[in-house]
Amino acid sequence: MAQLTTPVSRSSQPLLRRSKKYLEEPLHKTLFKEGSTEEIVRRELNRFLKGPKKAQKWEVGVSVRKLRQHKRFSTALKLSETMARRGMNPTPSDHAIHLDLVAKARGIPAAEKYFMELPEPAKNHLPYGALLNCYCKELMTEKAEALMEKMKELRFSSTSMAYNSLMTLYTKTNQPEKIPAVIQEMKADNVMPDCYTYNVWMRGLAAVNDIAGVERVIDEMKRDGRVVGDWTTYSNLASIYVDAGMFEKAEVALKELEKRNVSRDLMAYQFLITLYGRTGNLVEVYRVWRSLKLAIPKMANVSYLNMVQVLVSLNDLPGAEKCFREWEAMCSNYDIRVANVMIGTYLKAGQLEEAELIKEGAQRQGAKPNVKTWEVFMDYHLKKGEVKLAVECISNAISTGRGDGGKWAPPTEVVQAVMGHFERGKDVDGAEEFLAILNKAECDVGVEAFEPLIRTYASAGRSSASMRHRLKMENVEVSQATKKLLDVVCLD
């Protein structure tokens, strides 16, 4: 039988072709078609901006949102600024997003300047709310409170968003006692709370150990009926109970969390596994793990990372090993963080050979050890008194650097431990080699390194003509006792 098809008029064919093109090649797909690294995205954006392709306003909006999600703030700002110059009239919502990008890419002063230069009709509750949120994220309490008062005068605080930002600020700045007053203001102004409001309110009460108050908040939310708690509400409640050691109540909240995870949100499963782990309920951890695998068959690395961490915390080493091997067999992108959990576990148990095998297996899979890998090996060798091997790990960690491109330096206590070892052994050469590694990485070498170095020289009977000059160059001020040793060590 011939297949029936719906006839298409000639006049609609060009429209279909144009629609298909936009569906297949929207701007955000072009920007991310080869991956999401900073270099690739920037290259594709420059190619678009210099090319003939025109983008619809919705394409630019989606692209800016995607770039923000990937934390490509400077790139998103460049796109936003360029399209504004090309005549895309921004809405107050666009201004709010742009202000947030300016703050993230160029700092608060630049965001304030952008806000001040906005035309008055554009300054509605959205740009005001964006600036308030920037102040709150940067923990600028005085500016946030002053702006909030201005918003109240202008009647721009009629939604929960501004109040939520302010309460989050108080939580982060250890001022939870201010949160109930904000809630009272909301009630007085008939501002309807949302799930986030209840969550931050509960956290504020928990911070002052008012668990009964937390329970009253949940009861009030249920009685009010206008806001239905989602899974995050009960995750929050369960976490509060776990922190308070009230495991039975925590598990009741976790059951409620599970009921409300109707969309099978990965994050909800992650919280369930983590919080059941913190209650010590291994049976429930495995049950939720099985549910997660059924709900999301294509498991992400982060799911295995979370599960292995929980199993290790519960001292279920056979289970952690089995989960790790399962992950190794199915992962398409080897995540060194999962391997690091097992490496750390084996080293804590004194099983160096097993830890080395995991590291070597990761390298065969193309995953290079990161700073955390070298840190756990460094800690192991220091505890074993194997300082030479620990110094090798420090050197490797410095060379590797942090994932965000930042430099890594050993903690002060590690420098003290290593230098203390060389001092006890009167090993001047070893101490100098270690300082050379730190200097090569442009680490700040302070008094915690130079004082034991000078003592090492003195106890070994060695001298140094340049020690005073080195102290001056590094701007290091040593103690009076060490200054006396300098007279012995220095030849000048």
Q: What are the tens digits of pLDDT across the range 287-339?
A: 999 999 999 988 999 999 999 999 999 999 999 999 999 999 999 889 999 99
User: How do residues 178-224 score in pLDDT, each as one tens digit?
Assistant: 999 999 999 998 999 999 999 999 999 999 999 999 999 999 999 98
Q: What is the pLDDT of residue 461?
A: 86
3-class DSSP state of 403: coil
Residues 266, 289 contacting (CB under 8 angstroms): no
d(CA 29, CA 42): 13
Q: Residue 340 falls within a domain, yes or no? A: yes
Task: Give pLDDT, residue 55.
Answer: 63
Interval 111-142: pLDDT, tens: 999 999 998 888 899 999 999 999 999 999 99
User: Where would I find the beta strands (DSSP E) of 239-326?
Assistant: none
Q: How much is the pLDDT for 439? A: 82
Distance separating alpha carbons of residues 63 and 80, to the nearest angstrom: 9
Q: How far apart are CA 117 and CA 106, in angstroms?
A: 16
- What's the DSSP call for residue 263? T
E strand segments, 329-376 = none
Please give the C-alpha separations between residue 285 and each of 352, 359, 422, in angstroms, as whole numbers.
29, 27, 47
Tokens (6 digits) for 125? 């509750």
Going by C-alpha positions, the residue among 109, 105, 167 that lies closest to residue 133 is 167
The predicted structure's pLDDT at residue 382: 95
Closest-CA residue to 86 (of 46, 49, 42): 49
17 domain-assigned: no
Q: Is position 349 within any domain?
A: yes
Alpha-carbon distance of 433 to 63, in angstroms, equals 50
CB atoms within 10 A of CB 427: 16
Please spell the DSSP secondary structure of 52-95, one letter per residue: S----HHHHHHHHHHHHHTT-HHHHHHHHHHHHHTT-PPPHHHH
Task: With a cut of 50, say whether residue 454 has pLDDT above it.
Answer: yes
Domain housing 344: 316-367
From the list 172, 197, 171, the residue with the least C-alpha distance to 186 is: 197
Q: Is residue 29 part of a domain?
A: no
Q: Give the pLDDT score at 490.
A: 84
Place of tokens 């072709």: 17
469 within domain boundaries: no
- The per-residue pLDDT of the chain, averaged, comes to 86
Provide mean pLDDT across the span 337-343: 97
pLDDT in tens, 4-57: 333 333 444 443 344 444 434 566 566 666 555 566 566 666 666 666 666 677
Is 161 a residue whose pLDDT tops 80? yes
Q: Euclidean distance between the first and final Cα of the chain, in Å?
A: 105
Percent of the chain clearing pLDDT 90 (strictly above): 58
- The rounded distance, in Å, linking the Cα atoms of 239 and 257 is 11
Would residue 214 count as lying in a domain? no
| Number of domains forming the structure of the chain | 1
Instruction: Report the percentage of the chain scoring pLDDT > 70.
Output: 86
- Which pLDDT score is estimated for 84? 67
Scanning the structure block, which residue is given the tokens 């080493």?
A: 317
**Rounded Cα gap, residues 63 and 66, in angstroms:** 5
Question: Is residue 328 in a domain?
Answer: yes
Residue 490 token pair: 């220095």
Separation between Cα atoms, residue 13 and residue 17, nearest integer Å: 6
Residue 359 forms part of a structural domain: yes
Distance CA 88, CA 132 (A): 26
> Whole-angstrom Cα distance, residue 136 to residue 111?
13
Cα(470)–Cα(439) distance, rounded to whole angstroms?
A: 12
Q: How confident is the model at residue 446 (pLDDT cuts 50, 70, 90)?
A: confident
